[in-house]
Amino acid sequence: MRGLFPMIALGLIACGAPDLRTQGAACPPRASPRGGACVCDEGVALAGACVPRAVAASVCEGDLEGGACTRARCPEGQIPLPGGPCVPLAGLRTSASHPWIVPEERDALACPPHALAHARTGTPRPTLLCLPETACLPGATWIGGRCVADARCPPGHVPVREGCVPVLTANRVGGRIDLARWVGAAIGADGGEGSSLVCGTLGRNPHLAGVLDRSVSVDLQITVDAPGNDASAVEVRVHARPPEVAGLTPPVADVLAAALRSLGSATSATRARTNVICRVAGALPPERVAVGPKL
């Protein structure tokens, strides 16, 4: 857990809703002030910005609520595809991570105890991915035996576990982003743990990097460039060690860039960089279960 000093440096607001009238703050695009705080008029709040729901769907298995991902609600016996429809769990007969585990004709696949079932797009039909219950969705962290969501914060503030970090102030042409503060909150303090957004996004598909049956520690160097202090031109680069997990980083760069470009018109600096650590839980092998009598 990040220490107290970094949070003080970030200007943490631990209690209550931040009040724009007392902080000289601004609302990001697609948001407006209501009752002293910003509210998204379009899209959903992510890393301080109001982003299109399509962006949320790219990192969540459902939607964003208060800055944390939530799984789509499905009828009993079904699970959601990321950003897509619900699919019958019994119909997922191929493992996304362990394709050599194949059920017999009258059997199905199921996830072992203390693992959660996730559906992934496959060919010709969706596949089953089993992740440990400790692999929380983006915006939440495993604490005390459960996934605990970050603080609920209004746009213009980045949620962290301990509260809300203001990152946007008013200027003449729109909001001015405190880039160093945003990076420290939305990505993570240099040398510390990555944020729940970064680590949760990184760990959604560990099988794509061959992370199976075990957890790995991943070092990320994340650089944010804003040429000419133009937020709309922001680029995010992510370098990972070990290099075998590099294939997991594009969604991280994409979601960070999308949030930052939607947050304001200008940045306080043209570059910011941080090095963080994420623990990626490996995909677990599914089990074969009988669903009908043998022929």
Cis peptide bond upstream of 124, omega within 30: yes
Average pLDDT, the chain: 85
Strands 127-132 and 146-149 turn out to be unpaired
- pTM score of the predicted model: 0.86
Going through 72-167 in order, the beta strands assigned E by DSSP cover 78-80, 86-88, 107-110, 115-120, 127-132, 140-143, 146-149, 157-160, 163-166
What are the 10-residue block averages of pLDDT along the chain, 295 residues in total? 43 46 69 88 90 82 74 87 84 91 85 91 88 92 90 89 87 83 96 94 92 94 96 95 92 94 93 96 91 56
What single-letter amino acid sits at 45? A
d(CA 168, CA 50): 13
**Each residue's pLDDT tens digit, 116-158:** 999 998 878 899 999 999 999 898 899 999 998 888 889 999 9
Q: Cα–Cα distance between 255 and 271 in angstroms, integer?
A: 18
Q: What is the dihedral of CA 180, 186, 190, 192, to 10 degrees?
A: 160
Answer left, alpha or beta for residue 229, where phi above 0 means left and psi between -120 and 50 means alpha. left
